[in-house]
A and B are shown apart, each in its own frame.
Chain A
Amino acid sequence: MYKSSLKQTLKDLDTKKISIRELNQDYLNRIKENENLNVFIHFSEDNVLKQIDNLENDNSAKKLKGIPIAIKDLFCTKSMPTTAASKILENFNPTYESFVTQKLLDEGSIFVGKTNLDEFAMGSATNTSFFGNTINPLSKENEPLAPGGSSGGSAAAVAADLCLGATGTDTGGSIRQPASFCGVVGIKPTYGLCSRWGIAAFASSLDQAGIFSHNVEDASILLQSIAGFDQRDSTSAKVDIPNYFENLDDDLNGKTVGIPKEYSIDGTPMEISQIWEDAIKVLEKKGVKIKNISLPHSKYALPTYYIIAPAEASSNLARYDGVKYGFRSDEIDSLDEMYENTRAQGFGREVKRRILIGTYVLSAGYYDAYYLKAQKVRKLIADDFNKAFKECDFIVTPTAPSAAFPLNEKQNDPIKMYLNDVFTVPASLAGLPGISIPFGKDKNNLPLGIQILGKHFDEQQVFNAAVSLERSYE
Chain B
Amino acid sequence: MKIDKNTINKIARLSRIKLDDKESEDYIKDLNSILDWVEQLNEVNTENVEPLSNISSSILPKREDLSNDSNSSEEILENAPDKLEGFFAVPKVVE
Chain A residues close to B by CB (< 8 Å): 92-93, 95-96, 191-192, 205, 231, 234-235, 237-239, 297, 300, 303-304, 306-307, 314, 318, 321-328, 332-341, 343-344, 347, 352-353, 355-357, 359-360, 363, 370, 372-380, 382, 414-415, 429-431, 456
Contacts and interface: CB of A to CB of B under 8 A. Distances in A.
B35 to A, nearest CB: 8
A356 B80 CA distance: 26
A296 to B, nearest CB: 10
Contacts of A360: 3, 7, 11, 31, 35
Contacts of A373: 41-42, 46
A321 B88 CA distance: 12
Chain B residues touching A, majority SS = loop
Residue in A307, A341, A344 with the greatest tally of chain B CB atoms within 10 Å = A344
Given A96-B70, A334-B93, A360-B3, 11 more contacts: A95-B72, A192-B56, A235-B58, A239-B58, A303-B37, A304-B41, A333-B91, A337-B91, A344-B17, A357-B31, A415-B33
23 contacts: A93-B79, A95-B75, A235-B58, A237-B56, A324-B80, A325-B81, A326-B79, A328-B82, A334-B91, A339-B16, A343-B15, A343-B18, A347-B17, A352-B15, A352-B27, A356-B31, A363-B14, A374-B38, A379-B50, A379-B51, A380-B46, A414-B30, A430-B55
Contacts of B3: 360
Contact of A335 (B34, B40, B60, B93): B93
Residue in B19, B40, B44, B70 with the greatest tally of chain A CB atoms within 10 Å = B44
Enumerate the 3 nearest inter-chain pairs by beta-carbon distance, A residue then B residue, closest first: A431-B55, A375-B51, A328-B81
B21 interface: no
Contacts, number: 161
A430 to B, nearest CB: 7
Contact of B44 (A314, A336, A377): A377
Contacts of B61: 231, 238
Nearest to A371: B51
B2 to A, nearest CB: 8
B11 A353 contact: no
Given A324-B80, A356-B11, A96 B44 contact: no
Interface string B60-74: 110100000011100
A239 to B, nearest CB: 8
Contact of A377 (B46, B60, B71): B46
Contacts of A304: 41
A382 B78 contact: no
B49 interface: yes
B89 to A, nearest CB: 9
Contacts of A356: 8, 11-12, 15, 17, 27, 31
Given A322-B81, A328-B81, A359-B11, A379 B30 contact: no
B75 A376 contact: no
B29 to A, nearest CB: 10
Contacts of B52: 375-376, 378-379, 382
B1 interface: no
Interface of B: 3, 7-8, 10-12, 14-19, 23, 27, 30-31, 33-35, 37-44, 46, 49-58, 60-61, 63, 70-72, 75-76, 78-82, 88, 90-91, 93
Nearest to B62: A231
A352 B31 CA distance: 11
A303 B78 contact: no
A92 B19 CA distance: 25
B49 A363 contact: no
A76 B31 CA distance: 32
A397 to B, nearest CB: 20
Contacts of A93: 78-79
Contacts of B93: 334-335
A72 B24 CA distance: 32
B74 to A, nearest CB: 10
Contacts of B50: 376, 379
B72 to A, nearest CB: 8
Contact of B79 (A235, A303, A324): A324
A415 B55 contact: no
Contacts of B42: 373
A448 B3 CA distance: 39
Contacts of B33: 414-415
B15 to A, nearest CB: 5
A65 B95 CA distance: 59
A439 B72 CA distance: 49
A314 to B, nearest CB: 7
A302 to B, nearest CB: 8
Contacts of B44: 297, 300, 376-377, 380
B41 A300 contact: yes
B11 A363 contact: yes
B17 A355 contact: yes
